[in-house]
Chain A
């Protein structure tokens, strides 16, 4: 598929996901201002760091006057999970031009990764155009919502459980990702352990749970001799 057709296809698929990040983006803006950051600093976080969970943690720490090293360390630990995304997506974008890869790395998020991997697994022909098509609208929405959050605060109708949309997106992508015993064990262990370990500091539950899940998948695969279920 051509780059542009690929891009459009990615953009189409990401539309419902964009809805899911709205409340999160509003909070990223509103929480920053509440913590005493300026609007420019709030937007600086969203543009330069561009990773929601780590932004919220950084805002919290900066509001308490934490030292730079602590804030930076926290941001990096929370974002460490993206090493896995980078490794997982790398083979699928290996042939792309360098500048697209450089841009793609900047735009890497949970959502763009999950959407694109689902596509790459089912459609071998999809390329980096698809990935960028999912990633760019998420970036634009994130920045707009940050500004909106700074200006008007995080006002989402209380009866509308918009915060539930994001887990549903990941759920929709999780179901087809489980296609044999080994991926099933990876999901079971990854999900269960993260849930149990949710009290770990610096949002470490997710990377710890995910790594154990991956190992569970590898072990199950080896035990079954790599046969599909």
Chain B
């Protein structure tokens, strides 16, 4: 059964305030608080690590299921993955991203490739 009105609004408000605190954390304290040099250095790797964490699971799917949950033996899963439209389209889009360094061009190539491969 759906939660009560009070529960829903309380969850929204507290969840929202907490999320704002998370978002604001370092933006608020930076400059007032000296970050350890090790942390400053580590921040350099945040974009590459996070972006890969956002992208790779979206490409590594078999029939719309994340590869780790496909239930297939690892060998079969990898074979299916290597032949999947999404991964191929993603690789073509990566080439486009490298050559053009443009978000729109990457989207056009990736979506175009996925549609074209699906139509084959």
* Chain A residues near B (Cβ < 8 Å): 13, 15-17, 19-20, 35-37, 41, 44-45, 48-51, 54, 58, 61-68, 71-72, 75-76, 79-91, 93-94, 101-102, 104-106, 108, 110, 114-115, 117-118, 121, 159, 161, 164-178, 182-184, 186-199, 205-206, 209-218, 221
Q: List 25 A-B contacts (CB under 8 A).
A: A19-B107, A49-B16, A50-B16, A62-B8, A65-B1, A68-B7, A68-B14, A71-B7, A86-B23, A86-B24, A87-B35, A88-B46, A114-B51, A161-B118, A169-B107, A171-B93, A171-B106, A173-B103, A177-B48, A189-B49, A190-B52, A190-B53, A193-B53, A206-B54, A217-B45
- Which of chain B's residues have a CB closer than 8 A to the CB of A68? 7, 10-11, 14
Residues of chain B at the chain A interface (Cβ within 8 Å) = 1-3, 7-16, 18-20, 22-31, 35, 38-39, 41-60, 66-69, 86, 89-90, 93-94, 97-98, 101-107, 110-111, 114-115, 118
- B34 to chain A: closest CB distance in Å? 12
A-B interface contact total, Cβ < 8 Å: 292
Question: Is A105 a contact of B54 with CB atoms below 8 Å?
Answer: no
CB distance from B70 to the nearest CB of A (A): 10
A62-B11, A174-B51 are known contacts; what are 10 more A-B pairs with Cβ within 8 Å?
A: A13-B103, A58-B12, A68-B11, A82-B19, A86-B25, A87-B25, A91-B43, A168-B110, A177-B51, A195-B60
- A110 proximity list for chain B (CB < 8 A): 50, 54
Q: Are A165 and B115 in touch, CB under 8 angstroms?
A: no
Tell me if A62 and B26 are in contact (CB < 8 A): no
Taking a contact as CB atoms closer than 8 A, the residue among B3, B19, B106 that contacts A172 in the complex is: B106
Q: How far is the CA of A123 from the CA of B41 in the complex (A)?
A: 19
Note all chain B residues with C-beta closer than 8 A to A75: 11, 15, 18-19
B68 touches A86 (CB 8 A): no
Cα A63 to Cα B7 in complex, Å, equals 11
Known: A16-B103, A76-B22, A168-B110. A37 touches B8 (CB 8 A): yes
Task: Check A101/B27 contact, CB under 8 A, given A65-B1, A68-B11, A183-B45.
Answer: yes
Contact A76 B103 (CB under 8 A): no
Residue of A61, A80, A188, A205 near B52 (CB, 8 A) is: A188
Q: How far is the CA of A64 from the CA of B98 in the complex (A)?
A: 45
**Is B103 in contact with A169, judged by CB distance below 8 angstroms?**
yes
Inter-chain CA distance A114–B48, complex, in Å, is 10
Known: A108-B23, A161-B114, A171-B93. A218 touches B53 (CB 8 A): no
* Interchain CA distance A168-B58 in the complex, whole Å: 9
| Residue pair A83, B26 in contact (C-beta under 8 Å) | yes
Distance of A30 Cα from B103 Cα, bound (Å): 28
A50–B1 Cα gap in the complex (Å)? Answer: 25
A168-B110, A195-B60 known; A41+B93 contact, CB < 8 A:
no
